Amino acid sequence: MDYPLEERDDEQLDIEDDLEMLREDLVGELQAINQYQEHIESMESEEAVTTLEHIIGEEKEHVAELLKLIQNLDPVQAEKFKEENL
């Protein structure tokens, strides 16, 4: 997917922009998981822990959805996933 800039068409540039945003979103989801987990480790309230554990599960679902989308839009990334049996 890496072509010299002058050979890239508008659609390729749009996809690259989309991929950049999706990867930033992925980072945000992973950071949220880590933050919630850190909070869980210092919380006393069982209700709060249970709620954050539920939220972590949803964030992990978002990670999976974003990875699937990135894989669908980036053939090089898709090949890397395939090589790693992911």
CB-CB contact of 67 with 25 (8 Å): no
Which residue blocks in 43-83 are alpha helix, DSSP H?
46-73, 75-83
Q: Which has more pLDDT, 36 or 3?
A: 36
Residue written as tokens 């749009």? 14
pLDDT at 12 over 90: no
pTM listed for this prediction: 0.83
| 16-41 pLDDT tens trace | 999 999 999 999 999 999 999 999 99
What whole-number percentage of the chain has pLDDT above 70? Answer: 91
